[in-house]
Amino acid sequence: MTPRDHSGMDVANKTILVTGANRGIGRALVNEALRRGATRVFAGSRGQPGIADDRVTPLTLDVTNVSQIQRAVETVEGLDTLDILINNAGVAIYDDLGNLDILEQHIHVNFLGMLRVTQAFVPLLKRSHGAIVNNLSLAALASLPMIPAYSISKAAALNMTQSLRALLARDGVSVHGVVLGPVDTDMNRGLEIPKASPESAAAGIFDGLARGEEEIFPDPASASVAESWRAGTAKALERQFMAFVPETAGYTTSFTVDQSAEEVFDAINNVRGWWSGDVQGRTDTLGAEFTYRYKDVHDTTQRITALVPGKRVVWHVVDSHINFVKDRTEWNGTDIVFEIDRKRDKTELRFTHQGLVPEVECFDACSNAWGSYINGSLRKLITTGAGRPNPKE
Ligand SMILES: NC(=O)c1ccc[n+]([C@@H]2O[C@H](COP(=O)([O-])OP(=O)(O)OC[C@H]3O[C@@H](n4cnc5c(N)ncnc54)[C@H](OP(=O)(O)O)[C@@H]3O)[C@@H](O)[C@H]2O)c1
């Protein structure tokens, strides 16, 4: 599976859950989400969130309590869908690694709590092709030796964020890590250093999410390392390791022709020549997006995420509206992959729509359509120079 190329998520008209919502950054996130037009905010807290707004639904949620997590899932599922989960709850206690109880406490809340809440809500997020936002810390990148146990828990949470990002990409769920610098909350009360306000940090988090950033650096201290992080070794290795995630299953078909690999490659990229005359945008440039529309039945936007001459073309579906199925966005986050292989004096084209699996409602209709476009129209375009695309409306 190609790693998801995030298209970003705006908070407006979305349903959000924030843990640790009663104070500090969590509370600021709730207020900012409401200000930006969220439909509903589930405010998870151990006590009362104390936020009076019709769009806020309080949830009793200690992130270390398995039965409370389960009840929270049932409440959210009973009332709404969930688009964005913000794992914000956290503890920070000064220590010197001399007391393992303190380390365990950090691991239970900041790491295992985050993972438990995430796993519980993943089924809902898969349905909405939603986003997970994990509040981490600069201490995840390098230890802050006056809070080493906290640093360890945040480093573990960063590592977990990377794994979940790779594992959930195939389901169209994006996973973001927030690398926070010092913010003026109870957590670092008494520490006399420059601190960002919780309000500005909350705004920075939603801005980064809207831009689709994998790591979000929402305050001046963290922003100063953003560029080096994104261009650095850890990020490069993450991308390299991501490629080991097994390919996602999906509808697949193949054929062999006498033409060269280059001719097959050129024909694939001539999308108007075989899929539809009603394609808008460039179809032969890496990073470009194009739309395919068929009446009011099918309207999808593809981004070209791989374009290797004579070998491979990948389109990532960033948006879809398919009007004959219940979940009209079923194609979102899926990948359409063309692999070209030269075998003796022939060329094989293997087509896979990763994510178009039998569990998906449009599987039968969509795979039938692909079958005739690929084995009929595209093959004809390669072998005769004329395909059979849908005519322009
Ligand atoms: N402030 C900073 O400088 C800074 C810097 C980097 C990262 N961060 C991260 O940002 C997040 C928010 O921090 P903050 O500054 O807003 O801290 P805060 O003001 O101390 O608030 C922490 C929040 O987490 C909640 N919480 C703690 N343990 C919990 C548990 N077991 N279950 C559910 N909720 C729990 C607290 O609830 P109660 O009120 O019930 O205790 C509170 O709502 C944390 O993950 C923190 O590590 C903060």
182 lines ligand 1 (CB under 6 A): yes
Q: How far is the CA of 141 from the centre of ligand 1 (A)?
A: 19
pLDDT in tens, the chain (393 residues): 333 334 589 999 999 999 999 999 999 999 999 999 999 999 999 988 788 899 999 999 999 999 999 999 999 999 989 999 999 999 999 999 999 999 999 999 999 999 999 999 998 998 888 999 999 999 999 999 999 999 999 999 999 999 999 998 877 789 999 999 999 999 999 889 999 999 999 999 999 999 999 999 999 999 999 999 999 999 999 989 988 887 778 999 999 999 999 999 999 999 999 998 789 999 999 889 999 998 889 999 999 988 889 998 999 999 999 999 988 899 998 999 999 998 889 999 999 999 999 889 999 999 999 999 999 999 999 999 999 998 776
187 lines ligand 1 (CB under 6 A): yes
Structure tokens at 112: 């295992």
Q: Are 51 and 30 in contact (CB under 8 A)?
A: yes
24 lines ligand 1 (CB under 6 A): yes
User: Can you give the pTM of this predicted structure?
Assistant: 0.73
What the chain holds in terms of domains, given with CATH numbers, is 15-242 (3.40.50.720), 250-384 (3.30.530.20)
pLDDT at 244: 86
Q: Which of 194, 186, 172, 213 is nearest to 3 (CA)?
A: 172
- What beta strand segments (E) does the chain contain? 15-18, 40-45, 56-60, 84-87, 131-135, 174-178, 215-216, 250-257, 279-280, 289-294, 298-308, 312-322, 335-343, 346-354
Query: To test the ligand 1 pocket, which listed residue (17, 18, 22, 25) has its Cβ within 8 A of the most ligand atoms?
Result: 25
Task: Using DSSP bridges, classify how beta strands 312-322 and 335-343 pair: parallel, antiparallel or unpaired.
Answer: antiparallel
Q: Is 392 a catalytic residue?
A: no
Q: Is 150 a catalytic residue?
A: yes
Q: Are 200 and 25 in contact (CB under 8 A)?
A: no
Query: To test the ligand 1 pocket, which listed residue (42, 66, 88, 154) has its Cβ within 8 A of the most ligand atoms?
Result: 88
DSSP 133-160: EEE--GGGTS--TTSHHHHHHHHHHHHH
Give the active site residue among 94, 126, 154, 235. 154
pLDDT at 246: 75
How many whole angstroms separate alpha carbon 220 and alpha carbon 210? 19
How many whole angstroms separate alpha carbon 70 and alpha carbon 77? 11
